[in-house]
Chains A and B, each alone.
Chain A
Amino acid sequence: MARPREIGKAGWGWTLFSGLVSLVYFFPVLWIVLTAFKTRTDALAVPAKFFFTPTLQNFINVFYRSSITAGASQATEFPLYFFNSIFVSGTSVALAIVLGTLAAYAFSRYPLRGNDTYLFIILTTRMMPPIVVIIPIFLMFRLTGLSGTYWGIILLYTAFNIPFSIWLVKSFFDELNPEIEDAARMDGANERRVFFGVCLPQVLAGLAATFVFGLILTWNEFLFALLLTGVETRTVPVAMARTMGGEVGVDYGLLAAIVTLFLVPIFIVTYLLQNQLLRGVTFGTVKK
């Protein structure tokens, strides 16, 4: 075989090998998914059960739970929490991309004096440990009444996503060929058309990468959601943590069912935008 080894085609043999490795790596997740289909006794059986009669009871329990006192089944708030998670992460990531793209375009095309310093300060805000700002933000939210509202948590997540959005999208704008823009200007396009008609369509892949990256980081955010969301705006990670309390101990089956359901949307989005994700994690430093 005279084929270069590092990057190249490999056959089903390699699929078999990587399949085994991937399965081992995936095993802790697989176990969570299996636990979601187990009864309470099966979930904590010793020795651990790999083969069992699957039940959908845990998934039903996520949405309808029989309370110990009343006995009758009662609808839970989980549909709302799932909606909240999707709405809050989706909106804030999208909003961050819109604001980030405008800023990135400016940083790329109309550099200010001290451009790099501003970019650095912007990135630093993302790197800082949440513990630094959690108390002021908590106090601020309480004073302004943003606590427990959609707007509050969406704006906060937007702020968290803006730095990455700016950095990523800027790297895509930086790569574009300015001659095309100049040609458009010669043809009489105004600045608005240059942006919407020429530049933006060329960075759509970059926006997709930013979206996936931002979504993965926002989807599971817990600490701020715990402190700043209310009954109406609670997201799934917080609701998940709340199901663990109680006198009967952790209901692993129920928890696993929530984790599994919560994994599905982000898994699908990531699968669809997988090729863009490669771009996303490297801050757009990888050229095509």
Chain B
Amino acid sequence: MAAASPHERMGSPRDAGGFFAWLMAPERRGPLLVAPAVIVLFVMNIFPLLWSFGLSFFNYRANRQDVPGFVGLRFYERVLNDPDVWDRFQTTAIIVGSSVILQLIVGFLLALMFAREFPLRRILLMLVLAPMMLSFVSVGVFFKLYYEPTFGLLSQFVSTFTGQPYVLLGTPMGAIMGIVVADAWMWSPFVMLLVLAGLVSVPKYLYEAAEIDRASWWRRFRTITFPYIKSLLLLAVLFRTIETFKLFDIVYIITEGGPGTATETIAVFTYRVAFQFFRTSQSSALAYIILFVVIVLTNLYLYAVKRREQEVA
């Protein structure tokens, strides 16, 4: 069937002899089609990645001219033994955990709401999707304003009950809450889209059968709906975990990591090490540890995708 002659490949009716014939042979078709994308990826992503991997073994500072010396694993050792790093990882875990759980709950409820057909659905859906389309910078700046003790809406709302201005970002607990709410608000629509996609893929006849069996709402949900959205929920959790793990802009704008270091996520910490202390190599080592965590999470993520594909197929 695929007895295409060499020059018939993908719109290149060029010279059919010599090098081109060799290049266009059917068995090289795959690599040839992949090549442009891989070249761009290599130059823009993989090469810089290897470069910074190299940097992490040298004593290099971006603001100095002296020749960097080889230090081997010293920076990895230093980073892994630094109690600050573990503290920041803990902060990150708390923020990621609470934000992702909140996104799941809100996203799930929103999806249940939009899973029905009703008038104006398309337009209302757009209102809910809007936060996702804002930039981190604008979400950061305006949430900071909403949290502000004198002008902020939150403080004004609370003070109608207490009579006191409310300083949310003053305590470590409040600052974490402030960031979690801003991030979860921005990305719950994403979870909603995933769950919604799962909900609309449930075959209708299953519900009709359940209706005949007079199954309760909870039972219908547990036995019909949930199996269909289970792996999509897992997808949502993993994708959001990976993304929230990298959370930087919102934290940097709303609290700058404060009060103290209460909300300094690992990404903000790495940024500080790299651009405020100019410990370029140390930040590379740190970044690689983050990358390692991300790769582990990505693996889990792919596992979830695979499972989903098998279920649907």
Contacts from A to B (Cβ < 8 Å): 2, 4-12, 14-15, 17-19, 21-23, 25-26, 28-29, 31-32, 44, 46-48, 99-100, 102-103, 105-107, 109-112, 118, 120, 122-125, 127-137, 139-140, 155-156, 158-160, 162-163, 166, 182, 185-186, 190-192, 195-196, 216, 219-220, 222-223, 237, 240-241, 244, 250, 252, 255-256, 259, 262-263, 266-267, 270-271, 274, 277-279, 281-283, 285-287
B67 at the binding interface (Cβ < 8 Å): no
Residues of B with C-beta under 8 A to A283:
235, 305
| Cβ–Cβ contact A8 & B33, under 8 A | no
Contact A252 B145 (CB under 8 A): yes
Are A12's CB and B30's CB within 8 A?
no
Whether A21 touches B283, Cβ cut-off 8 Å, given contacts A15-B118, A159-B41, A285-B309, is: no
Residues of chain B with a CB closer than 8 A to A133's CB? 45, 48-49, 52
Q: How far is the CB of B303 from chain A (nearest CB, A)?
A: 11
Tell me the interface secondary structure of chain A in the complex.
helix
A282 to B45, Cβ gap below 8 A?
Answer: no
Q: Known contacts A103-B36, A135-B280; is A191 also within 8 Å of B2 by CB?
A: yes
Q: Are B295 and A124 in contact (CB under 8 A)?
A: yes
- B residues lining the A interface (CB < 8 Å): 1-2, 4, 8-11, 29-34, 36-38, 40-41, 43-49, 51-52, 55, 62, 110, 112-122, 124-138, 141-143, 145-146, 150-151, 153, 156, 185, 190, 193-194, 196-202, 204, 207-208, 210-211, 217, 220-221, 224-225, 232, 235, 242, 245-246, 248-249, 267, 270-271, 274, 280, 283-284, 287-288, 290-291, 294-295, 297-299, 301-302, 305, 308-309, 312
Are B137 and A240 in contact, CB atoms less than 8 angstroms apart? yes
A191–B290 Cα distance when bound, in Å, is: 43
A11 touches B118 (CB 8 A): yes
Give chain B nearest CB distance to A130 CB in angstroms.
7
Q: List chain B residues, Cβ under 8 A from A270.
A: 126, 129, 133
Residue of B nearest to A9 (CB): B117
Task: Tell whether, in the assembled complex, residue A2 and residue B135 are in contact, meaning their CB atoms are under 8 Å apart.
Answer: no
Distance in angstroms from A164 CB to nearest chain B CB is 11
Query: By the criterion CB–CB under 8 Å, are A286 and B197 in contact?
Result: yes
Q: How far is the CB of A217 from chain B (nearest CB, A)?
A: 10
A selection of 28 A-B contacts at a CB cut-off of 8 Å is A4-B204, A6-B199, A11-B119, A18-B114, A18-B118, A25-B110, A28-B131, A31-B153, A99-B37, A103-B37, A105-B33, A122-B38, A127-B301, A131-B246, A132-B290, A132-B291, A134-B274, A135-B62, A140-B48, A190-B8, A196-B11, A240-B138, A270-B126, A271-B126, A277-B193, A281-B193, A282-B235, A285-B309
